[in-house]
Amino acid sequence: MRALLQRVSRASVSVAGDVVGEIGPGYLILICAMQGDGDLHAEKLAAKIAKLRLFKDEAGKMNLSIKDIGGSALIVSQFTLAADLRGNRPGFSYAAPPDEAKRLYDLFTAKIAANGIQVANGIFGADMDVSLNNDGPVTIWMDSAEA
């Protein structure tokens, strides 16, 4: 699985003008299941994200986890993270098929929540409008193969 993790002071996602997910301080996680991904990929990535120390301590160093600060995670499906850019028009054949991608998205969300992190979500497959205040800015590209 691939994830783009952004440390935020706030983030929200809307569908058709209605806010469907919203958080204060924490992470906006854009997530994509790739061809060949399975449960272990979702579990490993969620465990790694829960332990990452990307929040500032009293000395101003990134030394605190999302759990340490009582933060939340807004998790949004983003199949375009699987883009194949060899040509001028991206292809998305590296993304998992929709049914499997949805299953892994739900599993990833459940594993983040099981780590004691409050979770909000977008709507899988919907045309979403995402708004955020990136704190830092801190943006991390992650792949379950490296977690």
Kindly list the catalytic residues. Answer: 78-80
What is the separation of C-alpha 84 from the centre of its chain, rounded to a whole number of angstroms? 20
CB atoms within 10 A of CB 70: 12
Instruction: Return phi, psi of residue 61, to 5°.
Output: -95, 145
